[in-house]
Chains A and B, each alone.
Chain A
Amino acid sequence: MSGLEGISCWLGGPALLAALVGLGFAVGILTGLFGVGGAFSIVPLLNVALGVPYPLAIGSSLCYTVGASASGLARHIRLGNYEPRSILALALAGMVGAVGGGALNRFAQGALGGRNYTLMMHGLFMALLVVTAWLIARGERANASGRTLVQRLALPPYIDLPRAGLRRVSVVGLGLVGAVAGVLAGMMGIGGGVLLIPALVLVVGLGPHQAVGTSLGVVLFSAMAGGTKYALDEHVSMWVVMPLLIGSVFGVQLGAWVCQALRARQLRRYFALLVLAVAAVLAVDFAAKLLSWKP
């Protein structure tokens, strides 16, 4: 298992593989329970719990997200939960954003140096996790107003989204939403579904079910572009990607099964608490790194 050398600072060989399968399984349960990818917890946990450097954790998480979102998207396409025209505009912008986010991350590594870069990433993830917990606890609320933000945006060209019942939607507006999701994917290695789904409901005006399938389509293409960027920089390891993917495939099934036994409101509260717990772990590591710093 020579490919496992140098991935983690603390674990090696079969112990590292078992930890990665376990992490994939745990994140898979979350995906099955709550319907979001969970990559937003994979990257910080890979770094803090397993000692995987951020660039390798981000690149590997993006390639894992490709597999996880492809599986989810295939199911949502069969169920008709997607809006094809908006996927095209959002995904194209998402791919550009993901490559840009990857470049931004690489620039930050060079400009800040190892320790400051890790602290910056910890800070970004803590902010993201707190926003995520808030969004989850709040729940999805459909857009109540008549015209959505991207319909009111006076930036041509416009397209109609007949499947969602939306007319004259600004392509530039859709592109901006996709680009922001893409930059987050490329910069932090998250799929971005947890932020993209509320954005698609509130800003674009898709229905909640359509938003889930459409988000998975955007996440898939953004993760493919971002994963390729990190692979070119040699920041992807299949020894990380495959155990995560194998663990998550089984975790998703268990999560979906448990989901039927719990109420939606209960689920949201537990998930928000879990996300805050990951943020707390990051905060402790952040403080420990700051306190141990010697100029």
Chain B
Amino acid sequence: MLKVLKIASYVLVPLACGLLADVVFEWLRRRRGARRGGAGGAPE
């Protein structure tokens, strides 16, 4: 069981980090867009 978790972590930890980075940078982009263009955030 421990080995399965260890193997899965090699793939799932980078996956989670990649998605987290996307969420953080998307939030920063929207915040920057909101500052520049008023309320509503940056359009995609």
A residues adjacent to B (C-beta < 8 A): 63-64, 66-71, 74-75, 78-79, 224, 227-228, 231-232, 236, 238, 241-242, 245, 249, 253
Q: Which chain B residues in 1-44 approach chain A with CB under 8 Å?
A: 6-11, 13-15, 17-19, 21-23, 25-26, 44
Query: Do B14 and A231 touch across chains, with their CB atoms under 8 A apart?
Result: no
The docked-state distance in angstroms from the alpha carbon of A133 to that of B17 is 30
**Complex contact B11–A245 (CB within 8 A):** no
Residues of chain B within 8 A of A78, CB atoms compared? 26, 44
A242 to B8 CA separation, bound complex (whole angstroms) = 15
Kindly name the residue among B6, B18, B21 whose own CB sees the greatest number of chain A CB atoms within 10 A: B18
> CB-CB < 8 A to B23: which residues of A?
74
Q: Please, which residues of chain A bring their CB within 8 A of the CB of B9? A: 238
B21–A249 touching, CB < 8 Å: yes
The majority secondary structure among interface residues of chain A is: helix
Q: Which residues of B contact A249 (CB under 8 A)?
A: 17, 21, 25
Q: A75-B26, A78-B44, A241-B13 are in contact. List 15 more A-B contacts (CB 8 A).
A: A63-B10, A63-B11, A64-B14, A66-B15, A67-B18, A67-B21, A71-B18, A71-B22, A74-B18, A74-B23, A227-B11, A231-B7, A232-B7, A236-B10, A249-B25
What residues of chain B have their CB less than 8 Å away from a CB belonging to chain A?
6-11, 13-15, 17-19, 21-23, 25-26, 44
- Bound Cα distance A75, B22 (Å): 7
- In the complex the two chains form, is B14's CB within 8 Å of A66's CB? yes
In the complex, are the beta carbons of B7 and A245 less than 8 A apart? no
Contact among A71, A75, A227 for B10, CB-based, below 8 A: A227
Report chain A residues within 8 Å CB of B6.
231
Q: Are A253 and B10 CB-contacts (below 8 A) given A69-B18, A70-B19, A79-B44?
A: no
| A268 vs B15: C-alpha distance when bound (angstroms) | 29
* A228 closest partner in B (C-beta): B11
B19 to chain A, nearest CB (A): 5
User: In the complex, what distance in Å separates the CA atom of A232 from the CA atom of B4?
Assistant: 9
Cβ of A238 and Cβ of B13 under 8 Å apart?
yes
Do A66 and B22 touch (CB < 8 A)?
no
Q: In the complex, which of the residues B7, B14, B25 contacts A67, with contact meaning CB atoms closer than 8 Å?
A: B14
User: Nearest Cβ distance between residue B16 and chain A, in whole angstroms?
Assistant: 8
Closest B residue to A59 by beta carbon equals: B10
What's the Cα separation between A245 and B28 when bound, in Å? 19
26 sample A-B contacts, Cβ–Cβ < 8 Å, listed by A number: A63-B10, A64-B14, A66-B14, A66-B18, A67-B14, A67-B15, A69-B18, A70-B18, A70-B19, A71-B18, A71-B19, A75-B26, A78-B26, A78-B44, A224-B11, A227-B10, A227-B11, A228-B7, A231-B7, A231-B10, A231-B11, A232-B7, A241-B10, A241-B14, A249-B21, A249-B25
- Are B19 and A228 in contact, CB atoms less than 8 angstroms apart? no
Q: Known contacts A63-B10, A75-B26, A232-B7; is A224 also within 8 Å of B18 by CB?
A: no
Min CB distance, B1 to chain A, in Å? 15
Report the minimum CB–CB distance from B29 to chain A (whole Å): 10
User: Does B17 contact A245, Cβ atoms closer than 8 Å?
Assistant: yes
Query: Which of chain B's residues have a CB closer than 8 A to the CB of A68?
Result: 18
In the complex, which residue of chain A has the Cβ closest to the Cβ of B19?
Answer: A70
